[in-house]
Every structure is written in C-alpha cells, then in structure tokens.
A = this chain, B = another copy of it.
Amino acid sequence: MSERPELRVAMVGHAFMGAAHSQAWRSAHRFFDLPLTPRMAVVCGRDPERTRQAADRLGWDEAVTDWREVVERDDVDLVDICTPGDTHRDIAVAALAAGKHVMCEKPLANSVPEAEEMAAAAAASDRLAFCGYSYRRTPALALARQLVAEGRLGEIRHVRAQYLQDWLSDADAPLTWRLDRERAGSGALGDIGAHVVDLAQWITGQSIAGVSAVLTTFVDSRPLGGDLVGLGGRAQAGSPRGPVTVDDAAAFTARFDGGAMGVFEATRFALGRKNAVRLEVNGSDGSLAFDFEDNDVLHVLDAGVEGARQGFTRVLVTEPDHPYAGSWWPPGHGLGYEHGFTHQVVDVVRALAEGRQAAPTFADALQVQRVLDAVERSAADQSRMTPVG
C-alpha cells in the first residue's frame, strides 16, 4: 500500500458532513484495496480556530480558511465540498477550472441554473465531478438497484418513497441554516427529499417525468439561537424568533418515464421516525422494500416462487456476495450510517484511477435538481402535474 500513489484531498466544510467524509477518507483503504491512497491534506472552514480544532479532531494535516486558495493549490488533487448548498456552485466551478477532481455534497445546488452551470463546468472538464448521494452506497440499496437491473422485478409499476425525520416536531426547535431559504435552497424537499428522488430514479432506472406536489410549513417562526441536539434541539423559553423560509414537508405524486407511478414524501415532522429513508418498489415479477432504520436489510419478493412459500424475504445484506459487504465483517455483523460514505470514497477513487466518472455525476444530480424544481413549481401552481426539465 505504501508504494501506491497518494490522492491528496482538500475538504471544504467540517460539520456533520465533514465528519462523515473524514471517517470515509480515513477508513476506505483500510478495508478496500484502493489504487490510490487518500491523504487527508487540508480542511477549509470559515473560522480559523474552529477549523484548526476540526483538523485535529477529524485528522487533516492542515487547516485553512480560504477555499479559493485551496482549489488552486498544486498539492491538492480532489476537492470535497461539504458546505451548505449556497456555496456549492462557486467552489465546484472554481475547483474544476483549476483542474481538480470534485466531490460535492447533495443537493448539487440550490437552484437549477446553478446546477446547470456546475454540470456545464463538469462537461467541459476532464476531471471527475461527483455528487454525494451517499445512500446509493448502502449495501441494501445497491442490492436493490442490482436486482432491478437484472430484471427480477419485471415491469416497474409502483414506487413509494419516503424520507421521514422528526427533529422539527418541537415548535421550539431552533432556527438553523437548514431552515433558511438563502442557505439551504429549500427545506425537507432538498435536504432529504432529494435523496429519495435520487434513489427512486437510480434503483428503478427510470426518470421522473412529471410531478404533482404540495409543500407545507407547519411552524413558520422559530427561536433564534439555542443549543443544537442532533439536528434539532430546543431553544430557551422566550427567545426571539425568526421566520422559517423553507418547506417543513413535501409530498408529491410522480409519473416515471417508464410508466411507473410514484408517491413521494419528505418531512421532518414525522414524530418517532428518526431517519426513515423508505422505499418500496412493486413490479410485475417482484417487489422490494427498504427502511434505513433497519439499514442492513432489504425485503425482496420474487413472484416466481411457488405461491405457498411466497412472501417478502428479509435479506440481511451482509454476505460476501452483497455489494460492499464482503470487505467488512462476517455475515450478520452489520454496518452503520457512515459506511455509505466510505463506499462512496472507494468508488470515486477507483473511477478516478481508471479515468472514469463515477455516478451520480453532476449531470445526474442536475436531473434531481430539475425534479425538485418541478416540485416547487407544481406546488406553486395548485399542484398541477408539472413536467420535469
């Protein structure tokens, strides 16, 4: 391993996503045979002191505060963007222009025009430009994709996709950047709905062609300040409040270009559902069901099995012949949330060494952005069925 060339990584942002990405950069080559050895070269943040601490804690060699300088550095090969959505476009475009490979957290951008600009920059470059829809790398979901691709579900008829969280259920949870349209672009829609849009399209191999949507904001002002606990928390009584400028929940029906009917929902108000990324797909020959709250499991129905023994099979996706799983532990010794990020690093590093793009590319992520945009337009137009793109 020591003789393998290094991949020098610069990470911009060091909060929740930064911690997940750091663990991935640190672990990937310990479990997978990688053609390049990641080097955690430099982390970039706005506040010098907090960035310094993050570098220490997360294990980066260097801490800096100016991303514009970072993307120009000769000793950086790949820029990993972990900041809120309003900065993605500028950083990614600059990094690609400077000849860097780019990994960018999802959603790709806060608007379709920004995303288009990014996709154009990627198309004009020979560098890898990857968007971090990390749930694709959950072994159970990678298996889902594989089963559909093998034709085991036949013609796809139904997709029901939900991403349910509850950290805003408390009307006194604090106002954070995720509730600010300027920073976050949208609310539940872009933050978590984007994941299930990406997954549903990727797993079925079909694109969403039209949507009919509703968006709701249940709590329209929230306290400023207050301590975060997890993503939420609770502000002190009597704190001044500011406006919530994004959706609290999004729901939409969808038509897929392959004929499937979709029903989507994203919310942070589903009390008791902590991180329920749920997918069900029904085809003419089989079905799938998944819930990230039981992340190692994919439920698979094969209609070819004799009726008396037919049903959903609870596949524990930890076997050597399951995607990614064989590089970790023996069967039944499950994986966690961060492993998706590690698998993402594996796929990106391998693609990069082979001069390929890895999916989802910026173009793929732009398409998700177009779906989100259609959702917002439909919701603003009496839920009218609205074509994507």
Chain A residues in the interface with B (C-beta under 8 A): 1-2, 16, 19-20, 22-23, 26-27, 29-31, 56-59, 143, 147, 157-158, 160, 162, 165-167, 169, 171, 212-214, 216, 218, 229-231, 249, 251-253, 255, 259, 261, 263, 265, 267, 269-276, 280, 282-287, 292-296, 299-303, 305, 307-316, 318-322, 328-339, 382-385
Contacts and interface: CB of A to CB of B under 8 A. Distances in A.
B313 A311 contact: yes
B271 A214 contact: no
A192 to B, nearest CB: 11
A302 B299 CA distance: 15
B272 A310 contact: yes
Given A307-B319, A383-B383, 20 more contacts: A1-B56, A26-B26, A26-B30, A157-B249, A165-B332, A167-B330, A214-B253, A230-B319, A269-B282, A272-B287, A274-B332, A275-B330, A275-B334, A293-B334, A308-B319, A310-B313, A312-B314, A328-B338, A329-B338, A383-B385
A40 to B, nearest CB: 11
A316 B308 contact: no
B270 A287 contact: yes
Given A229-B320, A253-B213, A314-B311, A267 B158 contact: yes
A308 B294 CA distance: 18
Q: Which of A57, A333, A335 has the most CB of B within 10 A?
A: A333
B253 A251 contact: yes
A383 B160 contact: no
A143 B272 CA distance: 18
A376 to B, nearest CB: 15
Nearest to A212: B383
